[in-house]
Amino acid sequence: MFKSKIAITVLAAVLSVGLMVSVPTFAAKSLTIKGSTTVLSIAQSCAEVFMDMHSDVNISVQGGGSGVGIASLIDGTCNIADASRPIKDKEKDKAKENNVQAYENVVALDGIAVIVHPTNSVDGLSIEQIKKIYTGEISNWNEAGGKKMKITVISRDSASGTFETFNELALDKERVRSDALLQASNQAVAQTVSRTPGAIGYVGLGYLSSAVKGVSIEGVEPTNENVINGSYELSRKLFMYTDGAPAGIVKEFIDFVLSEEGQELVKKAGYVPFI
């Protein structure tokens, strides 16, 4: 009696383990996309439409950051790595060690907007001023053309792609003042700036809203048009890295992202279409 019960339990356990292992092979074609949270929203909306068009394809989209995406591409746990920055030399070396050829596909453009509280009288800043504010040389708004008010510097965690790009484009890789507030996401930065009269922060162009004021950089407004025509200095490319030139289902997906329909989704996600 008990023996048969045990036997059934064991059988059930073995069967369920077997099922779990074999499930992923049921889908005809699967694609794993991993990486930058900035590119995540593009990848996600494109994947949804793409899967509607190809019912036999299963796409899994994950965040984690540019570094995680590229690391996963290198160790072979994803097909496409989303990145909001170009691949680093260190990562390239590591890829070569693992026989992975990181192939760069530019899928969209993104501008970084410098934001202040809506009540702040400052409308524009130069790159030089932004650098001085972030490195601590200027700490009061009256030194940057505003009213007398202490500047509260808000930055991103130093590992995020947005930070890396901002650090390179605006700060010349100089260190952000150590008492700068560090927030973990674009939303958190925008939210903190909207609640702090003396704050300055930076977010992706898609996160601009009426709750904050995006200042002009070197006299150029942070708009999609200015990013496309190249006059806005704080802009960057967004990438999807693949192992070698895209082929097969990976190529189909990348081609879709770059198609008119895909770029329309890029625009909807708050970024600037590449074409």
Partner 1 sequence: MHRIRERIYKGLFSLMAFASLIFLVGITLTLFVEGLPVFKEVGFFDFVFGKSWYPTYEPPDFGILPLILGSLWVTTGAVLFCVPVGVGSALFINELAGKRLKAVLKPIIEVLAGIPSIVYGFFGIVVIAPFIQRLLNLPVGLTAFTGSLMLGIMATPTVCSISEDALSFVPRSFREASLAVGANRWQTLTRVVFPASASGISTSIILGMSRAVGETMTVLMVTGGAAVIPHTLFQPIRPMTSTIAAEMGEAVMGSTHYHSLFAIGLILFFITFIFNVIAELISRRFRKKLGLGR
* Interacting residue ranges for partner 1, rule: CB under 8 A: 1-2, 63-68, 71, 90-91, 150, 152, 157-161, 163-164, 173, 175, 178-184, 188, 191-192, 195-199
Q: What's the closest the beta carbon of residue 31 comes to partner 1, in angstroms?
A: 22
Q: What's the closest the beta carbon of residue 251 comes to partner 1, in angstroms?
A: 28
Rank residues 71 and 234 by Cβ distance to partner 1 and give the closer one: 71
Tokens of 162: 């947005």
CA angle 178, 182, 188 (to 5 degrees): 160
Share of the chain residues as helix, strand and coil, in percent rounded to the nearest 5: 45, 25, 30
Rank residues 25 and 90 by Cβ distance to partner 1 and give the closer one: 90
151 within 8 A of 139, measured Cβ to Cβ: yes
Rank residues 12 and 159 by Cβ distance to partner 1 and give the closer one: 159
Quote the crossing angle between the two packed helices 37-53 and 248-258, to the nearest 10°: 110
Q: What's the closest the beta carbon of residue 137 comes to partner 1, in angstroms?
A: 17
Which of 73, 90, 83 lies closest to 32 in space, CA to CA?
A: 73
Q: What's the closest the beta carbon of residue 198 comes to partner 1, in angstroms?
A: 5
Phi (first) and psi of residue 265, to 5 degrees: -65, -35
Rank residues 67 and 222 by Cβ distance to partner 1 and give the closer one: 67
